[in-house]
Structure 1
Amino acid sequence: MSLHFSVLASGSTGNAFYIGTDKAKLLVDAGFSGKQMEQLMDTVNLDPKELDGLLVTHEHSDHIKGLGILARRYKLPIYANEKTWKAMEGLIGAIPTEQKFIFDVGSVKTFADIDVESFGVSHDAAEPMFYCFHSMGKKVTLVTDLGYVSDRIKGTIRNSDVFIFEANHDVEMLRMGPYPWNVKRRILSDVGHVCNEDAGLALADCIGDKTKRIYLAHLSKDNNIKDLARMSVSQTLQEKGFAVGEDFKLYDTDPKVPTKLAVV
């Protein structure tokens, strides 16, 4: 028995995350077409028919594009909070009542041997939330789409074995880039996205003795690059006294290619 996971894809164009054990298999978000989601899962030898649930973080299209298709095709239950369900109306098509479940912010749901803890984040969606997964003494945290990282969030996610954490943009690339100013202002705001340096600073407050892996996620395709994100976060953590590469390792995620199925 083991807890295993894969960041199936992550970026400004789409996001999907898998985590499971021998007894429970969960997908968080489905930000690609149904066909693309099937292909991503097949790449790491996962079968959508075996999923026990689809968990939703928020209603933005890069997180729910294929949600309705997968749910209907494989008769999968969807879990989201009430405000997110309301915001998804008209975006994911009709979902049978027996496949619709409420998962409140700040609550815990148990799927066999995985306890899923939800927590709210600051982002410009109806009621965005992300998750900590607890199983067999291990803790995996998935958190992107952050305007800023509050002390409450830090307390919830602290000392995870694995972090999948947002490093969305380089501030100078964003400022100098082609986006309209209103879009730049939204990204830089407290309900936007976390930049590389702020990701490093937040992680410095959350890394614990158990932490072994950090995956940098939700990189902007226009305002960031993998090497820059990794260098910026690593430098910030080193300045805070962490031995990056020794105490824990930093990993990239990709908008099209899944990470290897890893065991915690």
Structure 2
Amino acid sequence: MKVEILATGSDGNCIFLQSGSTGILIDAGKWKRDLEKKLLARGINAATDIQAVFITHSHSDHVKGLTLASKYRMPVYATHGEWQKISGVDGELRQVLETTYSKYDTIELGSLCVHPFQTHHNTLEPVGYAVEDDSGNRACVVFDTGHIDSDMLEMMEGNIYIIEANHDLDMLENGPYDAYLKDRITDPHRGHLSNDQTAAALQELIKGKGERIYLTHLSSNNNTPELASQAVRMALFEKKLINKRDYHLEVV
């Protein structure tokens, strides 16, 4: 499965996943013109290579480029709750992620199957995604969530992990943010994952079978790539797993 991280962080988030002739975007958090430039630079044809856009939640750094979908007539999938805060998408392109017995229905697009699952953030109905292809790959995308619960861990099992590592707790506690913002970031129901939370989840998930890990959405004020990488590598070293031998870690 091809993974292209077009943008990540507080300025915008967008992931391109492709298997065979089927490609999707997860989030579109850069302005349309910026996304078009990024796609072109990676050799991705917006008109032919992207079959749909899947939205995790409605914050602007995840949706402000959705006019791209209207321009190229891409269907856009989001939950009922998130659609209440999303604009700029033509009505016929708006697709709702439905549930059956409290579980989100799978979306099948060409060689990809997309499995949404609930996350925990300060929007109405945020989700993450597990994306499977016909070759047995399973990529899990988790942005903006205050914690990872057991249901999420079950859905996240795979061989490709694109996951938030937002902040280092010490940097956050000793940094410039006021008490309210610090509390919101660390709130398990509406916040963001710390390096330690991400490392603990990956310690549960990684088996040492050559998995690919992409750490994303790092705070520019409360984290560094070195701290995020170290937290994950140390957690996995406790399982005797070593980067570049048993798995492959990249901080984006």
Give matches, 1:137-156, under 5 Å.
137-156=136-155
Per the alignment, residue 194 of structure 1 pairs with 193
| CA RMSD after TM alignment | 1.4
Per the alignment, residue 98 of structure 2 pairs with 104
Which 10-residue stretch deviates more, 107-116 or 207-216?
207-216
Q: Give 1:117's match in structure 2, choosing from 97, 115, 139.
A: 115
Quote the Cα distance in structure 1 between the aligned partners of 2:98 and 2:215. 26
Quote the Cα distance in structure 1 between the aligned partners of 2:235 and 2:83. 38
Using the size of structure 2 for normalisation, the TM-score is 0.93
**What SS does the corresponding residue of 1:216 show, helix, strand or coil?**
strand
Per the alignment, residue 41 of structure 2 pairs with 43
Q: Which amino acid aligns with 1:235?
A: M
Quote the Cα distance in structure 2 between the aligned partners of 1:24 and 1:12. 28
Q: Which amino acid aligns with 1:215?
A: Y
Q: Which amino acid aligns with 2:226?
A: D
- Alpha-carbon contact 2:210-2:245 (below 8 Å) kept: no
Q: Go from structure 1 to structure 2 and tell me whether the alpha carbon gap of 1:211 and 1:149 turns closer, same or farther (over 3 Å shift).
A: farther
Give matches, 1:1-264, under 5 Å.
3-50=1-48, 51-67=50-66, 69-88=67-86, 92-93=87-88, 95-104=89-98, 106-135=104-133, 136-158=135-157, 160-190=158-188, 191-208=190-207, 210-253=209-252
- Alpha-carbon contact 1:162-1:211 (below 8 Å) kept: no
Task: Please list every run of 5 or more consecutive structure 2 residues that lacks an aligned counterpart in the other structure.
Answer: none
CA displacement, residues 191-232 of structure 1 (integer Å, 9 cap, x when unaligned) = 201111111111111113545211101101111111121112
**What SS does the corresponding residue of 2:37 show, helix, strand or coil?**
helix
Quote the Cα distance in structure 2 between the aligned partners of 1:46 and 1:53. 14
Quote the Cα distance in structure 2 between the aligned partners of 1:148 and 1:72. 33
Quote the Cα distance in structure 1 between the aligned partners of 2:10 and 2:172. 13
- Alpha-carbon contact 2:208-2:247 (below 8 Å) kept: no
How far 1:97 sits from its partner (Å)? 2.2
Q: Which has the higher contact order (CA 8 A, sep 6+)?
A: 1
How far 1:23 sits from its partner (Å)? 2.5
Q: Which amino acid aligns with 2:97?
A: F
Quote the Cα distance in structure 2 between the aligned partners of 1:103 and 1:205. 28
How far 1:245 sits from its partner (Å)? 2.5
Q: Which amino acid aligns with 2:115?
A: E
- Alpha-carbon contact 2:208-2:241 (below 8 Å) kept: no
CA displacement, residues 28-56 of structure 1 (integer Å, 9 cap, x when unaligned) = 11111111111111121111112211111
CA displacement, residues 121-147 of structure 1 (integer Å, 9 cap, x when unaligned) = 111111000111111211111112120
- Alpha-carbon contact 1:15-1:29 (below 8 Å) kept: yes
Q: Which amino acid aligns with 2:164?
A: E
How far 1:7 sits from its partner (Å)? 1.1
How far 1:244 sits from its partner (Å)? 2.6
**What SS does the corresponding residue of 1:130 show, helix, strand or coil?**
strand
Quote the Cα distance in structure 2 between the aligned partners of 1:96 and 1:145. 26
How far 1:116 sits from its partner (Å)? 0.5
- Alpha-carbon contact 2:13-2:30 (below 8 Å) kept: yes
Q: How many residues get paired?
A: 245
Task: Please list every run of 5 or more consecutive structure 1 residues that lacks an aligned counterpart in the other structure.
Answer: 254-264
How far 1:74 sits from its partner (Å)? 1.4
Using the size of structure 1 for normalisation, the TM-score is 0.89
**What SS does the corresponding residue of 1:127 show, helix, strand or coil?**
coil
Quote the Cα distance in structure 2 between the aligned partners of 1:210 and 1:81. 33
Q: Go from structure 1 to structure 2 and tell me whether the alpha carbon gap of 1:229 and 1:209 turns closer, same or farther (over 3 Å shift).
A: closer
**What SS does the corresponding residue of 2:84 show, helix, strand or coil?**
helix
Quote the Cα distance in structure 1 between the aligned partners of 2:240 and 2:194. 20
